Amino acid sequence: MSDDYGCQVRRLETRTGSVESELCSLRSKLGEVEDLDDELRDIRGDLRSLEDDLGTVRNELTELDLVEGDRVVATVPTYRGEGRTFL
């Protein structure tokens, strides 16, 4: 009877060890996901800043080049190029 109990304990220890190993692996993956989330948050912030900067530059332009592939297909005036302003 004690041999049977010993086998059950060993099986339980083996299962517990594999569960603990799996938990460690999941914790590690969660840490990687959290790191990626932080990086994505930084990238989103950078993109917002870039959009703001481009908007500022675009508001100062008098014309825009329309590009297809690697060539300019047309040049069109902006609202400033047409002498308009927003009030």
pLDDT tens-place string over residues 11-39: 777 777 777 888 888 888 888 888 888 88
What letter does residue 61 receive in the DSSP assignment? -
**80: three-class secondary structure by DSSP:** coil
- What are the pLDDT digits (tens) for 42-73? 999 899 998 888 888 877 888 989 999 999 99
- The first and second tokens of residue 80, run together, are 């400033």
This prediction has a pTM of 0.44
Beta bridge partners of 74: 66
Work out the pLDDT band at 5, boundaries 50, 70, 90: low
Which is higher by pLDDT, 5 or 1? 5
Q: Please give the structure tokens belonging to residue 77.
A: 């005036």
- pLDDT for 9 equals 67
Listing DSSP states for 45-67 in one string gives: HHHHHHHHHHHHHHHH-SEEEEE
Predicted pLDDT of residue 3: 66
Closest CA to 3 of 18, 11, 19: 11
Neighbours of 64 (CB within 10 A): 13
